[in-house]
Amino acid sequence: MTLQDRTIFITGSGGVLGSTYVRRMLAEGARVVATDLPGHRAEALQAAHEGNESFRFYELDVGDEAQVTEIFQRVMKDGWEPNVVLNNAAITGEMLMGAGKSFPDFADTTVADFERTLHTNLTGAFMVARQMDRDIVGRYPATLINVASMYALNGAHHPIYDGMPFKNFSAYGITKAGIHGLTVWLAGYWAPRKATVNTIAPGAVFNGHSEEFQRRVGELIMAGRMAQPDEIADAMLFLCSAQSGYVTGQLLNVDGGFSAW
Ligand SMILES: NC(=O)c1ccc[n+]([C@@H]2O[C@H](COP(=O)([O-])OP(=O)(O)OC[C@H]3O[C@@H](n4cnc5c(N)ncnc54)[C@H](O)[C@@H]3O)[C@@H](O)[C@H]2O)c1
């Protein structure tokens, strides 16, 4: 039980990784303030943890400035004070595929397509961090974890997506690179107020992918295979815990060695 002193606020918590983090955080004794867009993911998450007194759920669109501006005040009025915040929400390839949409090819990407992803993945993360600055930072020690990707500081391997029902899209990698800029900018800004901020960069997480895709991506990874969501959660729990207190401004790759060849 390493997280008994933690109240963890997480955006986009109903997804593949978010729901895993929530389950593992609760098991480690944390109080979890889960948030997400309304919809089937949010409903499934609430159903999974119904009756657990350490779990609360709030609807939150990270792209909606008015909602973000009031969210921590709402949580605090309800009696909980988050000391860990996870910028986890994102428009992802998984999400688009699940909704039956795919991102256009690069040449056909409109500014509106690009800016929609930018608004959620980067402006949303900025707004959550800014609200954390206003409502939490300096009042008590706190930490922010921004979620990037193995495709933040490394280019996507485009050929592995040939013929697949999903592909890597430009706005994704670009916003994931940008989020680490938020981390390093804030790390020094918040240090005097006893807040740390780090980035986690998960590798390719298995979620029912075909054998052929697993083979192609596995060849790019030292470990030779995709990650299980719980393997990403192992590192996330460390960043959420008091044991990471002297770590700030860092990017932690959890990618089976993908970025280290
Ligand atoms: N799964 C992977 O292989 C992988 C790899 C690297 C990084 N990541 C990153 O990890 C994080 C979680 O990924 P995942 O695999 O669970 O993705 P997912 O698509 O399963 O979940 C994303 C979640 O974000 C939420 N979301 C989207 N737009 C939102 C908005 N405007 N406001 C609030 N919530 C919103 C969705 O409702 C969903 O619950 C993301 O930041 C993703 O980029 C995932």
The β-bridge relationship of strands 55-59 and 84-87 is unpaired
pLDDT tens-place string over residues 49-105: 999 999 999 999 999 999 999 999 999 999 999 999 999 999 998 788 777 777 888
Q: What is the residue whose two structure tokens read 């955080």?
A: 25
Q: Where are the beta strands (DSSP E) in 64-141?
A: 84-87
Give distance in angstroms: CA of 243 to centre of ligand 1: 26
How large a percentage of the chain has pLDDT more than 90? 92
Nearest protein CA to atom 34 of ligand 1, as residue: 12
Choosing among 1.20.120.10, 2.130.10.10, 3.40.50.2300, 3.40.50.720, the CATH entry for 7-260 is: 3.40.50.720
Query: Is 46 within 8 Å of 69 (Cβ atoms)?
Result: no
Confidence band of 140 (pLDDT split at 50, 70, 90):
very high
User: At a CB cut-off of 8 Å and minimum separation 6, what does 82 contact?
Assistant: 7, 8, 9, 33, 72, 75, 136, 142
Query: Is 67 within 8 Å of 44 (Cβ atoms)?
Result: no
Task: Using alpha carbons, select from 79, 102, 85 the residue that is nearest to residue 13.
Answer: 85
Give distance in angstroms: CA of 94 to centre of ligand 1: 8
Nearest protein CA to atom 17 of ligand 1, as residue: 15
Asked if pLDDT for residue 1 goes beyond 70, the answer is: no
Query: Is 177 within 8 Å of 146 (Cβ atoms)?
Result: no
Task: Using alpha carbons, select from 208, 191, 206 the residue that is nearest to residue 248.
Answer: 191
Quick one: which atom of ligand 1 is closest to the CA of 62? 32
CA distance 247 to 185: 15
pLDDT tens-place string over residues 165-220: 888 899 999 999 999 999 999 999 999 999 999 999 999 999 999 999 999 999 99
Confidence band of 37 (pLDDT split at 50, 70, 90):
very high
Nearest protein CA to atom 13 of ligand 1, as residue: 17
pTM of the model: 0.97
pLDDT tens-place string over residues 142-164: 999 999 999 999 999 999 999 98
Confidence band of 230 (pLDDT split at 50, 70, 90):
very high
CA distance 179 to 126: 8
Q: pLDDT at position 167, please?
A: 84
Q: Where are the beta strands (DSSP E) in the chain?
A: 7-10, 31-36, 55-59, 84-87, 142-147, 195-202, 251-254
Q: pLDDT at position 104, please?
A: 85
Q: pLDDT at position 166, please?
A: 83
Quick one: which atom of ligand 1 is closest to the CA of 150? 6
Q: pLDDT at position 101, please?
A: 78
